[in-house]
Chain A
Amino acid sequence: DTEVTQTPKHLVMGMTNKKSLKCEQHMGHRAMYWYKQKAKKPPELMFVYSYEKLSINESVPSRFSPECPNSSLLNLHLHALQPEDSALYLCASSQDVRSPLFFGPGTRLTVL
């Protein structure tokens, strides 16, 4: 199984909603990532969870919070988002911190 899965594929939410994005991998990878991507731009790293340690891009607002329930799952909790947070959210995993990243299909998020 060489796949990273993400749910949901699409999400529309209001600014007062609380929602979660889910990501799962069964490749035994030790590192998982959340990226945000705007149209026609490269992905921007938000969070890294590797070897049971969370690293945060300090420019990411606190309305985004990651959670890693176990080594194969990585969630992204969303609360009080703004319309500018509308984007494609990509999850990825890698064998270790030197290996290439394998990406999931993404969640297309729209904040109204």
Chain B
Amino acid sequence: AQTVTQSQPEMSVQEAETVTLSCTYDTSESDYYLFWYKQPPSRQMILVIRQEAYKQQNATENRFSVNFQKAAKSFSLKISDSQLGDAAMYFCAYRSGAEGYGNKLVFGAGTILRVKS
């Protein structure tokens, strides 16, 4: 079974600075997808960024970028120029590319990000 590990329960960053959230995963599959979701205090789960395993190029979305190391099974999220609105719980998630059980989204435990002004 696939597992996702987020080893940082909480992180803090100063406004306008850069922070990196860690995520590692365990799988024997070659076809899969990785995601970062953000859940602010409102508790709406928002997709931040996605990465297909077959793509070598790291995904970027404005101030958000990932460092995808497939061999190391690592998928970290870098947030540049941090803003107060970035404060949230961040979940790393894995999704198999194979059929079955609706391709369950496997979540990590989450990292709470605090942004200081």
- Residues of chain A having any CB pair with chain B under 8 Å: 31, 33, 37, 40-43, 45, 48, 50, 55, 88, 90, 92, 97-98, 100-106, 108
Contact = CB atoms under 8 A, between A and B. Distances in A.
B100 to A, nearest CB: 8
B107 interface: yes
Interface in B32-62: 33, 35, 37, 42-47, 50
Interface of B: 33, 35, 37, 42-47, 50, 89, 91, 95, 97, 99, 101-105, 107-110, 112
Contacts of A42: 91, 107-110
B108 A48 contact: no
A97 B108 CA distance: 19
A48 B102 contact: yes
Given A98-B95, A98-B97, A106 B105 contact: no
Nearest to B6: A42
A97 B44 contact: no
Nearest to A101: B105
A70 B87 CA distance: 37
Contacts, number: 53
Tell me if A's interface is mostly helix, strand, loop or mixed.
strand
A65 B51 CA distance: 33
Given A31-B102, A55-B101, A98-B103, A105 B108 contact: no
B63 to A, nearest CB: 19
Contacts of A108: 43
B107 A43 contact: yes
Given A48-B104, A88-B43, 15 more contacts: A40-B110, A40-B112, A42-B91, A43-B45, A45-B104, A55-B101, A92-B45, A97-B99, A98-B33, A98-B97, A98-B103, A100-B47, A101-B105, A103-B45, A106-B45
